[in-house]
Every structure is written in structure tokens, then in C-alpha cells.
Amino acid sequence: MSPSPLLTDLNEGVLTLTLNRPGKLNAIDNDLAQALLAAIEAAGGNRDVRALRVRGNGRAFCAGRDVGAAPTERDLVLVQAVATALVQLDKPVLFAVHGWTIGAGLEWMLDADIVVAASSARFKLPEASLGVFVTGGLSATLAAYAGLGRAKALTLLGGEFTAGEARAWGLVWQVVAPEELEAISLQTARRLASLQPAVARQFKRVLNQVGLAHFDRAIELENQAQRTLGGEPGTA
């Protein structure tokens, strides 16, 4: 039996979801995307879950879409559904990232409310060089966090950047030593879980409605661009 592509653990109000395809650097396939979507949706209806933490198993957080299989319409639907579920979840979401965080993995990261990154993390958006378009609402999130000019440069040029640069540009909240990522991200998630649920819900809802007012439109336009380019939902 193949191992589950997603591991789950609920402790002290924090639901930790671990991307579990370490041999593929947690590259996204349909099974992983479907499992992640189902877990996020279930968390929304579980009163015992007060905060969500997403992490990756192995040497990387996520190397983008698994390009070992030809892209399908289902890929696009699932990747965009995960992004929307993360933004719409009425509970705070924290991502703990390390190693390579590329393409769709980075796009999902920016759908989180707070990101803690290991200093070893490396980021890249290579879609333009591959002739495909971005997903995950990145058209809205990247500009909101980093500014429109930097968003254009990062997507069109597709260069690699570091955790320190990501923090300076507003893409991550905190950079920590790799050996401290697990403890610090869990401690931060527990702080989020300690908030009154109604308070956390309203802060996330209002801030997203103002700061990401065009998120739904971004998803729609990304879908159109993907199909126009004959592309795929995410990249390696």
C-alpha cells in the first residue's frame, strides 16, 4: 500500500497537515491536492480545530506540480480549490516552509495567513519560462504582499530568491534556523489557536476582504490564462 500523501495530527487545537511525498519533494499530484482539499474542508467544520498548520516532509516544502504526468483540467480545478479553501477557511492558517518552495507550492504558501520559513528555504516562480501561467490566486496575493512591480519581476523573470529576501518583501513573517522551524511554527500556531475563534474569524475575514478584495477575480483570470496558454495548474 502506498503511503498517504498527506499526514494529519490534531493537538491542542492545532491541526497539522504534512505534505508527504518526500521522494518527489512533495510535488503536487491529484491525490495530494484532493487530500489537502478534503482536510481543509473538514477542518472548517471541526470545532476542535482552531488553527491550521501546513508543513512538508523531507528535504523540501513543495517543488510545485508533479510534471511526471500530463496536466489535466482536474489538476487546475483542484489546485485552485485548495487555494480558495485556504483563504476562505474561517480559522487562521500558518505555513511552515523549508527547502524548495516552488511554483504551486509557493502559490499555496501565499494563501496562508502567516508564514514561518527556515533560513534554508529557496523560492522560485518559473511558470513564465515554461510557457504556463500561475495559479493559487497569486495574481492577487503576490501583488498584495510584495507590490505590483516586484510581482511582475518575480513572475516574468522567475529568478530564485532566499528566505531573507522573501521576508524583506513581505512574503513571510519570520525566518528561523532550520532546526528551529518545527518548534517555532508549532508555538506560533498554538498562539493562533489560543485566540477566541470569533475574534480570529473576524480579523481574517475583514483583512482578506480589504487586502485581497480581488482574490476571486484573480482565480477566474488565472483559469482563463491557463486554458488560453494550454497550460497546467502549477509547475515543477
Secondary structure (3-state) at 160 = coil
Q: Can you give the CATH number for the domain in which 118 is found?
A: 3.90.226.10
Q: Strand, coil or helix: what is 142? A: helix
**Structural domain contains residue 112:** yes
- Give domain status of residue 118, yes or no: yes
Residues 6+ apart with CB under 8 A from 216: 84
Total of domains in the chain: 1
Total-model pTM? 0.95
d(CA 135, CA 44): 23
- Position 189 in a domain: no
Whether the Cβ atoms of residue 39 and residue 7 lie closer than 8 Å to each other: no
Query: What is the extent of the structural domain holding 100?
Result: 6-178+197-229
Q: Is 11 a member of any domain?
A: yes
Write out pLDDT tens, residues 14-38.
999 999 999 999 999 999 999 999 9
Alpha carbon distance 32, 108 (integer Å): 13
From CA 226, how far away is CA 91, in angstroms rounded? 30
Q: Render pLDDT for 135-187 as a digit per residue (tens, 0 to 9).
A: 999 999 999 999 999 999 999 999 999 999 999 999 999 999 999 999 999 99
